[in-house]
Chain A
Amino acid sequence: MKLNLDQMTKRYGDHVVLDAIDLHLSDIRSLVLIGPSGGGKTTMLRILAGLEQPEEGRVRVNDHDLRCSEAELLAYRRRIGMVYQAYNLFPHLNALENIMLPLVQVQGIEKHQAKEEALALLERFNLAEHAFKKPVALSGGQQQRIAICRAVAIKPEVLFFDEPTSALDPEYTSEVLDLIEELREEDMELILVTHEMGFAHKASDYVLFISDGGIVVQGTPAEVFEKTTNPRVQRFFNKVLKYN
């Protein structure tokens, strides 16, 4: 994917969340955003996913200019996939219907074909036995894997993850991360906000450390995780890795 951000600024009222961000990346397949809570990484992800617009500057993802009308933004959102922290399956629909809904209603695929595709996807990720269960009958990890299936089903240009394991019990974290890793190996393009540093290190080919509304450090995982001398970043790593 290609990302081009010029002087991008996002505010909520008087509070500046992202301050004049410049970023130019190309040929990235897996971008990971890390940093302290409240630092702006989730807002950054939401802007890149077309869920919010910055007040100033330019944002381009691949060929899409994201400073545009709501209708164009809607069209953009229909081409990307988004996975939230958790609980983002629709509770009144079973797993299969959750995956079929965007296929049928948004992508305009015939119902029987959407069903086939959704079942194939569930089969592939070992979730076939849960196809007809409502979210309430599924574990957090299963719910999240089905949410990922829903995002993948539309064959998105880019797949976004907003802390996909933060709301899960630790025992379910690895099954979700395994699935994301599998998608990455299949050349799915990913942008991921995560607190799982080990996973971020292993699964990214570019890392942004975002804090206090700006990109503090950026580079390959090796550069950011091993070689950085930035005291702000080192302090963060010391804290989050203390008990690892």
Chain B
Amino acid sequence: MKKPKQVTDLFIATPGTSIARHIRLINVLILAGLLALLFGFGFSRLSYEFRWEAIWRYRNSMFNGFLMTISISLAALVTSVLLGIFFALARRSRIILLNYFSHVYIEIIRGTPLLVQILIFYYVIANAAGLNNRYVAGVVIMSIFASAYIAEIIRAGIESVGTTQRETARSIGLTKRQTYRHIIFPQVITGVLPPLAGQFASLIKDSSLLSIIAIKEFTMAAREVNANTFSTLESYIPLAIGYLMLTVPISYLMKRLERRFYYET
């Protein structure tokens, strides 16, 4: 039975049915128009004069910063996953000291602002340890920060493998190590991939704070351009777009992984 055409059909989705392409297009265009109006109004009130040519000269330094952000985030992702696995296992360890250490570590890192962590690590710990390479310091700080979140993601993943499966593994005669290797980890990996992708997106954005210790990443590059040209918006709008170019594909990937995982279980 087909309902009579109504104007509201263009704007209100029927539960359980996918939205038709032309309706989607109409709504996207309206939304884009509204946003354009909003920003147009904002900028017109600002009476700001864009001078894109001023920052064009700094395109190389912006691009290098962009690459630096990717490089730091990727390196930090790898080390923070390793650290995260360690702390997740330590959190479940029967060795009390290890267990407590992991607990305290996760609480402190997740409970304090990244900004404070960066300052303390850089000016106290790295300084005392004689670590002068800013790139390495940046990777270490971001790894420490992200690993606390990743540890919790992995711990939740391990705990989602139910007791019945552990029990079955035991009755088959698998050792604890074999149970982790063949039963728990393969399931944890598929389960934690979506939240891990989300964590990676956060890592990319959060690394912008590294600019306060003068690491030449993307945000630092934009700040320098701004300082040299006084073209604030021309420096920061490309910055926002650059971050979106990294995070939007990741969030798209995350949704696809989630869907795949959903169908598999």
A70 to chain B, nearest CB (A): 10
- 6 A–B pairs (Cβ distance < 8 Å), ordered by A: A78-B172, A84-B167, A84-B168, A105-B182, A106-B174, A136-B265
CB of B170 within 8 A of CB of A51, answer: yes
Any A CB within 8 A of the CB of B27: no
B residues less than 8 Å from A91 (CB atoms): 165, 187, 265
CB distance from B217 to the nearest CB of A (A): 38
6 smallest CB-CB distances across A and B, nearest first, come from A78-B173, A82-B171, A88-B168, A102-B172, A77-B173, A106-B173
Determine whether B264 belongs to the interface, using a CB cutoff of 8 Å to chain A: yes
Residues of B within 8 A of A172 (CB): none
| Contact between A92 and B190, CB atoms less than 8 A apart | yes
Contact of A105 among B164, B170, B171, B178 (CB under 8 A): B178
Known: A78-B173, A92-B190. A84 touches B265 (CB 8 A): no
> Which chain B residues lie closer than 8 Å to A74 at the CB level?
173, 175
Q: Which of A56-112 contact B (CB under 8 A)?
A: 74-75, 77-78, 82, 84, 87-88, 90-92, 101-102, 105-106
Interface size class of chain B, counting residues whose CB lies under 8 Å from the partner chain = 10 to 19
Closest Cβ–Cβ distance, residue A95 to chain B (whole Å):
15
- Cα–Cα distance between A222 and B172 once the two chains are bound (Å): 34
CB-CB nearest in chain A for B173: A78
Task: Give every chain A residue within 8 A of B165 (Cβ-Cβ).
Answer: 88, 90-91
Task: Indicate whether A11 reaches chain B with its CB closer than 8 angstroms.
Answer: no
Q: How far is the CB of A109 from chain B (nearest CB, A)?
A: 13
8 Å CB contact of B172 from A87, A92, A106, A136: A106
Min CB gap B261→A, angstroms: 11
Interface contacts beyond A75-B173, A82-B172, A102-B174: sample of 15 additional A-B pairs, CB < 8 Å, sorted by A:
A51-B167, A74-B175, A77-B171, A78-B172, A82-B171, A87-B164, A88-B164, A90-B165, A91-B265, A92-B187, A102-B172, A105-B178, A105-B182, A106-B172, A136-B265
Flag B5-27 by CB within 8 Å of A: 1 or 0 each.
00000000000000000000000
A87's closest neighbor in chain B, by CB?
B164
A77–B190 Cα distance when bound, in Å, is 30
Q: For residue A101, which residues in chain B have a CB less than 8 angstroms away from its CB?
A: 172, 182
Chain A residue contacts of B186, Cβ below 8 A: 92
Cβ-based interface call for A146 (8 A): no
Q: What chain B residues lie within 8 Å of A75 (beta carbons)?
A: 173
Question: In whole Å, how far is B178's beta carbon from the nearest beta carbon of chain A?
Answer: 6
Contacts of A136 in B (CB 8 A): 264-265
Which chain B residues lie closer than 8 Å to A87 at the CB level? Answer: 164
Q: From B183, which residue of chain A is reached at the shortest CB distance? A: A90
B235 to nearest A CB, angstroms? 48
**Cβ of A121 under 8 Å from chain B:** no
Chain B, 185-204, CB within 8 A of any chain A CB: 186-187, 190
What separation, in Å, do the CA atoms of A92 and B186 have in the docked complex? 7
How far is it, in angstroms, between the C-alpha of A49 and the C-alpha of B164 when the chains are bound? 16
B165, B173, B183: most-surrounded residue (chain A CB, <10 A): B173
Closest to B263 in A: A136
